[in-house]
Amino acid sequence: MKKPIFIVIILVIFSCSTIKNNEQKQQLSTVSAELGAIGINNSGLLGNQFQQIGVPELSKKIRIQATHVPFDKASYKKYSGLIKKSGQINTVMPQDSVIQDRPKYLKFVIADLITLTEAMNAPENKAIQAYLDNDSNYKIISAVDVVTSKLVYNDILEAEEIYLSQHNANKLGLELMKDGKLYKKINLSSFTPFKYNLSSFCWGNDERRRPCIRAIVAGNISCPKDTYKQASKLDKKNDFKF
């Protein structure tokens, strides 16, 4: 019998020239929590639930870096505990101490931070910006841990480059490149999430003093200088200057 393979996607997002790096608190997911989704985190009896309002439209694909790591006892405990609570079938069996025989997960990390920030400020994302402007509780899923099939896992391992891209209306997915050419597209629905991380948006002014998203910071990290998680604070600062 073939051994199951596990995949974890972990993404940390920052924007422009400002990079803030810190440990994020991971949330246990009881519902679909897709990479790049924007919404509000709610607590439920079975764990945290993410109420999605949408995803950014990407006119340009976002480069992702990938590594694969063996599951340890802690990560397996989180996965199996969530699966049990949600009533899903656990297709992952715990492994012995032989590291090379353990199930593995992948860590995906966004490499192209500037393109992501540009996308959030693009005209096609004005509707989502309106939500973010009015309520700082709306955040983006910047990391997600998932399991997937061995077939998808092997496809990812073969890829020389991986991108997050627009697959169709309101749907993001992965593009796998090899020998400089696209060889596979993978829907995010191919993954079963069991943990996710949220990041906040930081508002500032562009060169014309118009409000825009200047940074995306992990967890409870403070925004960079002259940027705010609440867009209303930016308005008050502009009024004070005038």
Q: What does the alpha-carbon distance between residue 203 and residue 210 come to, in Å, rounded to a whole number?
A: 10
Q: What percent of the chain has pLDDT over 90?
A: 33
Confidence of residue 197 (pLDDT cuts 50, 70, 90): confident
- pLDDT greater than 70 at residue 230: yes
Question: What backbone torsions phi and psi does residue 123 show, to the nearest 5 degrees?
Answer: -55, -35
Confidence of residue 52 (pLDDT cuts 50, 70, 90): very high
Q: What does the alpha-carbon distance between residue 192 and residue 92 come to, in Å, rounded to a whole number?
A: 12
Question: What backbone torsions phi and psi does residue 215 show, to the nearest 5 degrees?
Answer: -160, 155
Sign of CA dihedral 175, 179, 181, 182: negative
pLDDT score at 173: 95
pLDDT score at 15: 37
Q: Are 85 and 96 in contact (CB under 8 A)?
A: no
pLDDT score at 70: 80
pLDDT score at 18: 38
- Bridge-based pairing of strands 192-205 and 211-218 is antiparallel
Tell me the per-residue pLDDT of 111-163, one tens digit each, with 9 for 90 and over: 787 888 889 999 999 999 998 998 999 998 888 887 888 899 999 999 999 99
The token duo for 237 is 């600062």
Mean pLDDT of 70-89: 80
pLDDT score at 171: 92
Domain boundaries, the chain: 6-241
Mean pLDDT of 163-173: 93
Q: Does residue 20 or residue 168 have the better pLDDT?
A: 168
pLDDT score at 6: 45
Best CA proximity match to 14, nearest among 157, 218, 188, 167:
218
**Average per-residue pLDDT for the chain:** 79
In three-state secondary structure terms, 58 is: coil
Confidence of residue 21 (pLDDT cuts 50, 70, 90): very low
Q: Are 166 and 223 in contact (CB under 8 A)?
A: no
pLDDT score at 195: 80
Confidence of residue 47 (pLDDT cuts 50, 70, 90): low
pLDDT score at 12: 36
Best CA proximity match to 87, nearest among 124, 36, 35, 47:
47
Confidence of residue 30 (pLDDT cuts 50, 70, 90): low
